[in-house]
Amino acid sequence: PRPFLAFDKDNHATFRPMAAQDRTLPADRPNVIWGRLDAVINGEVQTQDERFRQPRTAMGINADGTRLFLMVVDGRQPRTSNGFTRAEVGEFLKAFGATDGMLCDEGGSSCIYLQQFGGIANVPSDFNGEERATYTHFGVSLRKAPKVD
């Protein structure tokens, strides 16, 4: 029972926490990404199963599913970053406006690539800050938001 974000054709997202009774993937939401653990549910930061600090990759959405929050936290680098706990991820996402969010990964594969910053924008914990090969990726293409009257 893992949490997930499901996106409709217009990229509006809905969140299903780990404890959701209905685990059916919505037919009108063809794009789904699975997480590992809940970080924040309906504005409540999740603290159970608290573990030590880790590098983290997390995602969250606002209440109406129109904003996606992406987060990567470095860790295992005592001189620069110790990482976040599960609760700290939830607090951070919530501080930026997320009402629901999930941990996606922890460890050396936590990495974010931003083209406008010239590539990898964090310092992964493995291989002296080098990117680790992984079997899953999540990509976002930004476009101009429509004007609001």
The pLDDT value given to residue 146? 67
pTM tops 0.85, yes or no? yes
**Average pLDDT in the 103-117 region?**
86
29, with CB counted inside 10 A (0-12, 13-18, 19+), is middle
Q: How many residues does the chain have?
A: 149
pLDDT for residue 145 is more than 70: no
Positive or negative, the CA dihedral 7, 4, 69, 137 is negative
